[in-house]
Amino acid sequence: MKRVIGKFQLFRSFLRLLFLQGLLNRRGMQNLGLVSALSPATGKLDDSRDSSMLLKHLSFFNCNPNFTPFVVGGVLKLEEEKRAGKPISDDDIEYFKRALTGPLAAMGDMLFIGNLKPLALTFACIFAIYKLPLGLLAVFLLYNIVIISCRLWGVYLGYTKGWELVDFFSGPEFQKVLSVVEAASAGVGGVLLGILFCRFPQNGHTMLVLAGALTAVTLYLLKRDVPASWVAIILFPTSAFVALLVGQG
């Protein structure tokens, strides 16, 4: 089958996908972003000046922004195959979108929001504690290389695989990657935890005991869905009160 969509069109889709969240809305979520990302290639796929190819993608669409490029690439591939005369209907393309979107949203949230971002931020905190600006820069660059290359690779891979994307994400590979990232996040989290506890005695052993008690109380409150920011805010007047008691004592 002759390819109609070139690398340049895919690259333009990738550039629009970088700002996908700008069109996020409650009714269709990322539907406008998806249409915006598909639009550079639709001129090649549809010779008529009609917008029906774009408008049919205005239905509800919500995925993890870092995994959306896979769906965009896959949809472009299917639209291209349909144009070439393969027995693919609009319903098939809609089914493809729905079949991929849910699992990819869950996988992306687990990988990026749940693990990769906390991992990068934990590393950043360690470098900030030891005042290492180069470390901060390295974390920033590495994280962005991962995110941007995932989006770029996603468009091209989605376009190359088409329907095969479903098989690609059904295998055990993703679970393996997730396990490695989870273990690394927990390990680096442990390192930061150790560093924090080693720094408390610098302000006296009473502070170490107080810090231990406060950690336990905060943990209890976090488990009851009290945000950490509120715990810290409430702690301010409490500290002033304790200081007042100590001063009077």
Partner 1 sequence: MSTILALSLLAGLLAVDHRVGWQSLLAQPVFAAVLVGGVTGELESAVTVGLALELIYLSILPMRGTRVPDQIAGGVVGCGTASLLMRYTGDPRFVFVAAVGILMGLLAGELGSRLGAPFHGLQNRVLSGFDVAPHTARRTVVQRIAWLHTGSIAYVFVVEAVVVLVLLSAGFFAGERFTRLVDVTLLEGAEYWKFLIPAVGAASLIHLYWQHHLRRMLIVCAVLVVIILWLR
Q: Which of residues 113-132 bind partner 1 (CB under 8 A)?
A: 113-114, 117-118, 120-122, 124-125, 128-129, 131
Site map 193..222 versus partner 1, x via CB under 8 A = xxxxxxxx--x---x--xxx-xxx-xx--x
DSSP β-bridge partners for residue 4:
none
* H helix intervals, 65-161: 68-83, 90-108, 117-129, 133-161
Cα separation, 156 vs 165, in Å, equals 12
Cα separation, 100 vs 93, in Å, equals 11
Residue placing its CB nearer to partner 1 in the complex, 84 or 243 = 243
Instruction: State yes or no: residue 249 binds partner 1 (CB under 8 A).
Output: no
Is-contact 60 83, C-beta < 8 A? no
- Using CB under 8 A, which of 2, 26, 85, 205 touches partner 1? 26
- Using CB under 8 A, which of 6, 25, 84, 86 touches partner 1? 25
Cα separation, 200 vs 177, in Å, equals 35
- Smallest separation, CB 172 to partner 1 (Å): 16
DSSP β-bridge partners for residue 61:
29
Pick the piece of the chain touching partner 1 (CB under 8 A) from 5-13, 79-87, 88-96, 240-248. 240-248
- Smallest separation, CB 87 to partner 1 (Å): 25
Instruction: State yes or no: residue 47 binds partner 1 (CB under 8 A).
Output: no
- Smallest separation, CB 122 to partner 1 (Å): 7
Is-contact 69 152, C-beta < 8 A? yes
The tokens for 169 are 């994400």
Instruction: State yes or no: residue 229 binds partner 1 (CB under 8 A).
Output: yes
The tokens for 30 are 């990322």
